[in-house]
Amino acid sequence: MKIHFTARHFKARPELQHYAERAVMRLERLYDGIVDCNVVLEDEGASHRKRSEIWLTVYDQTLKAVSMAPDFELAIDEAVEKLRRQLVRYKERRRRRDGFDKRTVSWDVEEEPSR
């Protein structure tokens, strides 16, 4: 997965960038079909609110989460949690659409008739 990092209206310290990358990499354990990730952090100045936007590109779709919090780490964690829930729903939809749902699959194999 490629991770693109952008900081708007401030210069991000390397620790913050590393924190965001590690948080997003945890999502890859849940679903390995993530192609691309964009992380945008924005400091809203006067309101002292920090905004985190994360876009994940998966097969045939883009998932997006936006979160605002008093600090960047909390905003990143909230956005990653939102994306985790979206990925679980996405995987379920893909599984149903592809015709594979392990709750409905029968593993009984009939024997071939002998010749």
Under DSSP, is residue 21 helix (H, G, I), strand (E, B) or coil? helix
State the CATH number of the domain containing residue 69.
3.30.160.100
Q: What is the pLDDT of residues 82-101, one digit of tens each?
A: 999 999 999 998 888 777 65
Would residue 112 count as lying in a domain?
A: no
Task: Say how many domains are in the chain.
Answer: 1
Would residue 111 count as lying in a domain?
A: no
Distance CA 99, CA 110 (A): 21
Q: What is the pLDDT of residues 12-59, one digit of tens each?
A: 999 999 999 999 999 999 998 999 999 999 998 777 899 999 999 998
Distance CA 115, CA 18 (A): 64
The pTM for the full model equals 0.80
Would residue 58 count as lying in a domain?
A: yes
Domain enclosing residue 36, as ranges? 2-97
Would residue 39 count as lying in a domain?
A: yes
Would residue 27 count as lying in a domain?
A: yes
User: What residues pair up with 37 in beta bridges, in sequence order?
Assistant: 3, 56
Would residue 115 count as lying in a domain?
A: no
Would residue 110 count as lying in a domain?
A: no
For 41, counting Cβ atoms within 10 Å of its Cβ (0-12 exposed, 13-18 middle, 19+ buried), the class is buried
Would residue 107 count as lying in a domain?
A: no
